[in-house]
Amino acid sequence: MNGKRPYMDYPQYRAARRLVHECCNYDNGNCILLDNGEPCVCVQSISYSLICRWFITAVLPLDGKLEAALLHRADRKRCTECGGYFLPKSNRGKYCPDCAGRMKRIKAAQRKRKQRLLCHALGYSKHP
């Protein structure tokens, strides 16, 4: 994060607000970690920037797209199929996880179709 706190836009903020309820320290709008005898509001549920370290390490990975958008802005890529951002697992990553399976099936079908077309057993000869 390089000392900079990522700032969320409104749709990202709403997604983070939904994720806050998954935190094990969240109790009816209050944070158990910050509680020192008096209830304290969960800072992540009212802030447009990522403040809570527990939220970043334990809760944010539950939503991969939001995590990639907020924490890995320099490392993320745009999916060539749907245009969404994702965090690639290698330098060859081209598709987001949602599109990768579908594109794998499409490419395999195209490859097999070409292989069947060029198959010499079906009467194809290399010389014209």
Contact 76, 69 (CB under 8 A): yes
Residue 103 reports pLDDT greater than 90: yes
Residue 110 banded pLDDT, cuts 50, 70, 90: very high
Q: Report the predicted TM-score, pTM, of the whole model to 2 decimal places.
A: 0.49
Q: State what percent of residues in the chain have pLDDT above 70.
A: 85
Instruction: For residue 1, name the pLDDT band (cuts at 50, 70, 90).
Output: very low
| pLDDT value at residue 108 | 96
